[in-house]
Amino acid sequence: MTNAPRWRVDCIVGARPNFVKIAPIMRALRSDGRFDVRLIHTGQHYDVAMNDVFFQELAIPAPDINLEVGSGTNTEQTARIMLGLEGVLAADRPDMLVVVGDVNSTLAAALVAAKLLVAVTHVEAGLRSGDRTMPEEVNRLVTDRLADLLLTTEREAEVNLIREGIAPGQIAFVGNVMIDSLRASLERARPVRETLEAHGASAAFLDAVKEGYGFVTLHRPSNVDDPATLGGILAALSDISRDLALVFAVHPRTRATIAANGLSTLIEGGRILATPPLSYLQAVGLMREAKLAITDSGGVQEETTALGVPCITVRDNTERPITVSEGTNALVGSAPERIRAAAGEIARSGGKRGRVPEMWDGKAALRVVEHVAAFLLRRGC
């Protein structure tokens, strides 16, 4: 390795889904003698306590730079990240910028790098829901148009990219880095009872979960911003909880709508435990043992497929279709009767018997690093 080139690679994170994806990539880059790596945190998710827990649990090194942009609208956040990042990259240009996922930090970093003529690798490229009302879909589309190297989690993503005019030579199938983190964390996942007790579960609830439980997350604006839609979903959860106790990790956005519209009575009564957002190892422990998951999260769709846990996705579409075609996921929309029916079917049949998709094997980050190195060698860096 002494005669091998050393490349400077900057990795961008900004929100909790990024942390899970960047952790194995950072480890793989830093264990490879060809790279000097800098971690830049945009501060898009700015809850210090939750950030610290995720960094600790995923063994992510402290960020070299934190832009601390904080909250705001999608446009405000994107603009502040761009303004902060431009000076950082212009003052100390990397050979490559690595972005992951589809959050505002991903889009903003890709835009800045493109303006400064810094090469961009997009990990998790080519995923499409077909729904441009989702901010994440716009972020995905624009980031992929700007990226120089596009690394995919499933083969259908390459089909999407080629259809959109991306040259096949820019695309490589590497697998799913989220599953790298999941596999690496299973032995350290928090025991279910420990997590429940930490969040105030009653003795009656602890007794109930001995017969099984479901794990719930909801945060998409289309589900949680409109009180009528959220109220219907919560009513369905209340009905489901009569037969199956539910652990509901409540997103701040969801909690705000519940509080502002008097919806808390729908999830009170002992069979639903509403918790704050969970740490990664707490969430993994709960998902692994759950009878089912009810979610609108892309990450939970993937993680439950990898764990073999039936998943009810409260959306009409998904950018992760392989979780439906091969995995344990079912799209049901937000209609309460469809959510109830899906949960009832899982109770009767045990749910879909999916399989773990191709190359979701815990080694995706190693393939990411090899493709980044090959790209930089071709560039003559």
Measured between alpha carbons, how far is 205 from 197 in angstroms, rounded to an integer?
10
**DSSP of 4-48:** S--EEEEEEE-SHHHHHHHHHHHHHHHTSTTEEEEEEE--SS--H
Q: Output the CA torsion sign for 274, 275, 279, 282.
A: negative
Asked if 179 contacts 302 with a C-beta cutoff of 8 angstroms, the reply is yes
Q: Is 219 a catalytic residue?
A: yes
CA angle 59, 283, 322 (to 5 degrees): 95
The values of phi and psi at residue 331, to 5°, are -85, 125
Strand order in the sheet with 149-152: 65-66, 35-41, 7-13, 96-100, 119-123, 149-152, 171-173
The two tokens of residue 218 are 């909801």
Asked if 214 contacts 290 with a C-beta cutoff of 8 angstroms, the reply is yes
Instruction: Pick the catalytic residue from 45, 219, 251, 371.
Output: 219
Tell me the residue ranges of DSSP E strands in the chain: 7-13, 35-41, 65-66, 96-100, 119-123, 149-152, 171-173, 213-218, 245-250, 272-275, 292-295, 311-313, 329-331
Query: Which residues are part of the catalytic machinery?
Result: 219
